[in-house]
Amino acid sequence: MLGWVALVPTLVALVQGGGKTSCRTGYAIGRAWWLGLVTGGVYFGGTLYWITDVMVTFGEVSLVIGVILNALLVAYLALFPVLCIVLVGWFIHVLGLYGLILFPPVWVATELARAHFFGGFPWVLLGYSQATVLPVAQLASVFGVYGLSAAVALVNASLVYAIYGARWRRVAPLTLALVSVFGVAAWGEHRMASKALLANGSPIRVALVQGNISQNDKWNLNMRESILDTYLVMTRAAAKHDPQLIVWPESSTPFAFEEDYSGAAAVRDVVRETGIPILLGSDQLEIASKVKYYNAAFLLGPGGETEAVYRKIHLVPFGEFVPFRKLLFFVEPLVEGVADFSAGSVPITLPIGGHLISTAICYEIVYPGLIREFVLAGSELLTTITNDAWYGTSSAPYQHFEQASMRAIEQGRYLVRAANTGISGIVNPYGQVESRTRIFERDTVVGDVMLLSDMTVYGIIGDSFAYLCSVITFLALVTALVYGRYESKILTDA
């Protein structure tokens, strides 16, 4: 809920130091740059603090190096708020308080850039602050998470306008913003109550297996049989509830599935024994001119055969590949310890009983565009498999789960999530969590979901709203530059 006011201090400082008559242009831009950097540092430092512990614990680097690397990541991500604040600061400098009107589209434009630049890292977008405020979150079914970011940014900007605007005009923007938000909330309540998305669909029962395997044990050769046996025993127990699909987490097999005959045979045997398809995560090797490794998801049909394989498209930096590997020679343990995975290229759907479903592996669930591609390809159920053991008891597993739930609202699909150490759960098309596990507990979730085919507005138009915000930002920048030069010329001539 703090998202509604979190950016007010930054905007207040921007208005105080960026007015037409308060300072020179260069000073205004420099001040805006530092305000953006501080804002981005607090934003990402406060939400991604856990990366330091991941690097120290699993990257085998010192605490100092871990802090430095995390700081570098935070500094990079902070560049996007910096760009936003500098642009809005310039608009305020040229247009006065009217420049605040442009804050929502500029913020969204820079979030869109963050989601795509250098492969993208769209973690903790501003709109995710409303993931649990479900009446408001329904807006994502129309404009996606970027629409929610715009709504939150609009309220922040309107509050600041109400502080500094002329007495007779200051209330109007804030009133309009609040009426819009409460209107969205009322519509969202009605949308959830109607349950229109559930009127048509095919029911299917799913079981999610949370093996709770420690990250230190996952690739311990002495633990292979024990780990596999854990999943086989839990699968047989889940099968007693008559699911039509059983989902194991990412990298659930302690071996590359296609390369270990005895291990894979044991998994195929349990599928044939129960007659229930299993979706599982494992590594895949492709041996051609050189060996390529993929983080993959395998769908085994009722007869135990492999029916489809999806290869992860969005890889985790420093987890599955190292960007700028040659430049990071000073963190050799981290660089050398990271397997160099290859990225998949096709958003493959998976067949289940005459229907199609999809899976996203680990953090690629936070890419709205990828999930939309699955739905456009015919997916009627969203699944995501992950291993969040890396994150310990930090806020990361909770951030990850809430961001995943936003995809259910955007696409109007059920989402089922199997996580090695949690959080595993089932989310309905309105973002309501129907069941979930606790972290670091061995557990199984069994629930009834529906295979759905109706499209949401967002499913049809995708990120058009975010791209429109980018166009508005560009046009506003051009206009402000022209206006600023024209005004300067008048003052010079005078």
What are residue 311's DSSP bridge partners?
Answer: 296
Q: Any idea what the Cα angle at residue 88 is, between residues 131 and 474, rounded to 5°?
A: 90
Strand runs labelled E in 264-420: 278-287, 291-300, 306-311, 350-352, 355-361, 382-386, 415-419
d(Cα 415, Cα 474) in Å, to the nearest integer? 36
- Residue 469 is among the residues annotated as catalytic for this protein: no
Contact at 8 Å (CB) between 320 and 341?
yes
Q: Which H or E run contains 242?
A: none
Choose, from 250, 320, 402, 410, the residue flagged as catalytic: 250
- Residue 312 is among the residues annotated as catalytic for this protein: yes
Contacts of the segment 321-326: beta carbons below 8 A, 24+ positions apart: 323/118, 323/119
Helix axes 63-95, 8-18, angle to 10 degrees: 50
Count CB-CB contacts under 10 A for residue 425: 22
What are residue 245's DSSP bridge partners?
Answer: 206
Choose, from 218, 312, 320, 410, the residue flagged as catalytic: 312
What does DSSP assign to residue 465?
A: H
Q: On the CB side of 17, how many CA atoms lie within 13 Å of its CA?
A: 20
d(Cα 30, Cα 26) in Å, to the nearest integer? 6
Lookup: tokens for 490 = 């008048």
d(Cα 488, Cα 161) in Å, to the nearest integer? 26
Q: On the CB side of 461, how many CA atoms lie within 13 Å of its CA?
A: 15
Strand runs labelled E in 261-381: 278-287, 291-300, 306-311, 350-352, 355-361
Contact at 8 Å (CB) between 104 and 143?
no
d(Cα 478, Cα 336) in Å, to the nearest integer? 46
Choose, from 362, 364, 380, 469, the residue flagged as catalytic: 362
Read off φ and ψ for residue 302, nearest 5 degrees. Answer: -55, -25
- Residue 225 is among the residues annotated as catalytic for this protein: no
Edge-to-edge strand order for the sheet containing 415-419?
A: 350-352, 355-361, 382-386, 415-419, 425-427, 433-436
Residues marked as catalytic: 250, 312, 362
